[in-house]
C-alpha cells in the first residue's frame, strides 16, 4: 500500500516536473508545478510530516502559485521563442545534467542506510503540536528573524511594484 | 505491508532538483526560470523531510522546521522576485532573459 502510494505520487511529481521544464507556455508550467507541489504534500504525509503537508498545500500550492499565475496573467506572458539557442548548450546540456543527477543519486545512496524503510505511521512527531513546540522553543530566534525577513520582503515588494519609479 | 526504502525519497528529490537546474539553465522566460527555482526548493524540502524521518526520535522534528523555514523564505522570495519581474517588464517590455543584458557591455 505504502509502496503503491509512493510510486503513484512520485510518478506524478516526476511527470509534472518534466512538464514544467518542457512546456513553452508559462501558464502550463505553472499548472504542472502545482501538480508537483500537491504530490509532494502526499509524500510528506507518508513521511509523517502532517503539518508540513498542510503548509505545503496552503503556502506553496495556494499562495505562491496564485502569485505566479497572477503575474503571468498580468504581464500577458505568451509562448517563449526558441530562436538563438546556444550550440554548446544543445550539445552539452543533457549529458551534464545526467551527470549531475547521477552524482546526486550516488550521494543519496551514500547518505541513506540501505535498511532504512519508510512506512505510513512510522513517525508521528510531525504534528502541528510538536512542530509548534519546537518552533517556539528551540527555533525561537530563527522564527523572529523570519518575521523581520517577511516585513522586509513586503516593503521591498511594495517599493519595487510602485507605479512611479524615481 | 510493502515498505518504501528511504533512499527512494532522496532519489526523487535528486531527480526533481536536476529538473529544476535544467529549467533554470535552459529556459528563456524569466517567469519559468523563477518557477524552476521553486522546483529546486521543493526538492530540497523533500530531502529534509526524508532525513527527518530517518533520524526520528527526540528532536526528529528539526528537519520539518528547516523545510518550514525554506518555505517561508521561498514565499518572501516569490513576492520580491515577482515584483522585480514586474519592474523589468515595465522598463524593458520583455520577459526574455537574453534581452535583459545591459550589464554585459
User: Mind listing the pLDDT tens digit of every residue in chain A (166 residues)?
Assistant: 788 889 999 999 999 999 998 888 899 999 999 999 999 999 999 888 889 999 999 998 889 999 999 999 988 877 777 666 677 777 777 888 888 888 888 887 777 776 677 777 777 777 888 888 888 998 999 999 999 999 999 999 888 878 765 5
Residue B75: inside a domain: yes
- pLDDT given at position A128: 87
B42: domain CATH number is 1.10.287.3510
Residue B22: inside a domain: no
> Which is more confident, A81 or B19?
B19
* CB contacts, 8 Å: A17 with chain B: 15-16, 19-20, 39
B104 has pLDDT over 90: no
Q: Give domain limits for chain A.
A: 1-78, 127-166
Q: Rounded to a whole number, what is the distance in Å from the CA of A86 to chain B's nearest CA?
A: 10
What is the average per-residue pLDDT within B17-35?
A: 89
B33 has pLDDT over 70: yes
What is the average per-residue pLDDT within B13-26?
A: 90
Residues A82-94 pLDDT 10s: 666 677 777 777 8
Question: Are the beta carbons of B71 and A60 separated by less than 8 Å?
Answer: yes
Helix H or strand E segment including B91:
helix B62-92
A42 and A57 in contact (C-beta within 8 Å)? no
When the pLDDT of each residue in chain B is averaged and rounded to a whole number, the result is: 87
Q: How many domains does chain B have?
A: 1
Question: Are the beta carbons of B3 and A161 separated by less than 8 Å?
Answer: no
Residues B60-80 pLDDT 10s: 788 899 999 999 999 999 999
Q: Quickly state the pLDDT bin for B1 (edges 50, 70, 90).
A: low
B39 and A20 in contact (C-beta within 8 Å)? yes
Question: Which structural domain, as residue segments, surrounds residue B80?
Answer: 28-99
Cell readout for B100 is 535583459
What does the H/E/C string look like for chain A? Answer: CHHHHHHHHHHHHHHHHHHHHHCCCHHHHHHHHHHHHHHHHHHHHHCCCHHHHHHHHHHHHHHHHHHHHHHHHHHCCCCCCCCCCCHHHHHHHHHHHHHHHHHHHHHHHHHCCCCCEECCCCCCCCCHHHHHHHHHCCCHHHHHHHHHHHHHHHHHHHHHCCCCCC
CA separation, residue B104 to residues A56, A89, B91, B99, B100 (Å): 38, 19, 17, 11, 9
Interface of A with B in 113-142 (CB under 8 A): 113-114, 116-119, 122-123, 125-126, 130-131, 134-135, 138-139, 142
pTM of the model: 0.89
- pLDDT given at position A49: 87
CA atoms within 13 Å, Cβ hemisphere of B66: 16
Q: How many Cβ atoms sit within 10 Å of the Cβ of residue A144?
A: 10
Which residue, among A40, A1, A112, has the nearest Cα to B41 in the 3D structure?
A: A40
- pLDDT given at position A164: 63
Report, at the CATH architecture level, how domain A1-78 is classified: Up-down Bundle (1.20)
Interface of A with B in 32-91 (CB under 8 A): 33, 36-37, 40, 43-44, 46-49, 51-52, 55-56, 59-60, 63-64, 67-68, 71-72, 74-75, 77, 80-81, 84, 89
- pLDDT given at position B74: 92
Residue B4: inside a domain: no
Provide DSSP, B19-48: HHHHHHHH--BHHHHHHHHHHHHHHHHHHH
Q: Complex ipTM, two decimals?
A: 0.89
CA separation, residue A151 to residues A125, B73, B80, B99 (Å): 30, 12, 11, 32
Q: Could you give the CA distance from residue A112 to residue B4 in angstroms, rounded to a whole number?
A: 12
- pLDDT given at position B105: 67
Q: How many Cβ atoms sit within 10 Å of the Cβ of residue A76?
A: 8
Amino acid at each position: 500500500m505504502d509502496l503503491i502510494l509512493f510510486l503513484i505520487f512520485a510518478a506524478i511529481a516526476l511527470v509534472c516536473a518534466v512538464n514544467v521544464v518542457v512546456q513553452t507556455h508559462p501558464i502550463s508550467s505553472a499548472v504542472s508545478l502545482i501538480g508537483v507541489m500537491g504530490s509532494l504534500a502526499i509524500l510528506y504525509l507518508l513521511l509523517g510530516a502532517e503539518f508540513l503537508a498542510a503548509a505545503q498545500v496552503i503556502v506553496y500550492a495556494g499562495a505562491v502559485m496564485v502569485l505566479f499565475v497572477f503575474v503571468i496573467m498580468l504581464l500577458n506572458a505568451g509562448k517563449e521563442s526558441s530562436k538563438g539557442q546556444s550550440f554548446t548548450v544543445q550539445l552539452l546540456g543533457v549529458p551534464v545534467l545526467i551527470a549531475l543527477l547521477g552524482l546526486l543519486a550516488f550521494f543519496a545512496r551514500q547518505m541513506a542506510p540501505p535498511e532504512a524503510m519508510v512506512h505510513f505511521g512510522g513517525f508521528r512527531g510531525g504534528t502541528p503540536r510538536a512542530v509548534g513546540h519546537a518552533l517556539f522553543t528551540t527555533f525561537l530566534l530563527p522564527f523572529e528573524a523570519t518575521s523581520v525577513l517577511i516585513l522586509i520582503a513586503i516593503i521591498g515588494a511594495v517599493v519595487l511594484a510602485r507605479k512611479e519609479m524615481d | 505491508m510493502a515498505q518504501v526504502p528511504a533512499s527512494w525519497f532522496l532519489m526523487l528529490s535528486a531527480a526533481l532538483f536536476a529538473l529544476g537546474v535544467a529549467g533554470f539553465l535552459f529556459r528563456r522566460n524569466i517567469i519559468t526560470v523563477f518557477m524552476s527555482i521553486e522546483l529546486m526548493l521543493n526538492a530540497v524540502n523533500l530531502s529534509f523531510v526524508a532525513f527527518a524521518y530517518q533520524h526520528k526520535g527526540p528532536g526528529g522534528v528539526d528537519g520539518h522546521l528547516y523545510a518550514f523555514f525554506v518555505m517561508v523564505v521561498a514565499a518572501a522570495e516569490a513576492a520580491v522576485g515577482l515584483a522585480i519581474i514586474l519592474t523589468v517588464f515595465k522598463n524593458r517590455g520583455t520577459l526574455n532573459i537574453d534581452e535583459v543584458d545591459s550589464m554585459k557591455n
